[in-house]
Amino acid sequence: MRDGLVTREALPSDRRVKQIRLTAKGKQRVGQVLEVHSRQIEKILAGLTPEDQSEMQRLLGLLGEHLETLARNDIGGGKNTAEK
C-alpha cells in the first residue's frame, strides 16, 4: 500500500474481509528477494558435500512433517506431546 507493493480491497460478498494482493512492483520485489535468498542459501550449503545436503534436506522434510502433525494435534493447547 504505502510502498506500492500490495493492494488491499474489501471482499464484495463480505466487506469485513480484506484481500491483500501483490502489485507488479510487489511481485518484482519478491523476485529480487528470492534471488538474493537463493544465493545466500547456496553459499551456506557450499560447506556441505552434496550427500550431506541431500541428507539435511531429507531430515528437514521429516522435521517439517512432524511439526505439521504437532500443529494438527494442537501443540499450543497445553498438552505435553512428548509424553505418550
Whether the predicted model's global pTM rises above the 0.95 cut: no
CA dist 40 and 31 (Å) reads 14
Q: pLDDT of 18-74, one tens digit each?
A: 999 999 999 999 999 999 999 999 999 999 999 999 999 999 999 999 999 999 987
In degrees, rounded to 5, the angle at the alpha carbon of residue 57 between the alpha carbons of residues 40 and 54 is 95
Query: Phi and psi for 51 in degrees, rounded to 5?
Result: -65, -45
Domain assignments of the chain as residue spans, ordered by start: 6-72
What are the beta bridge partners of residue 10?
18
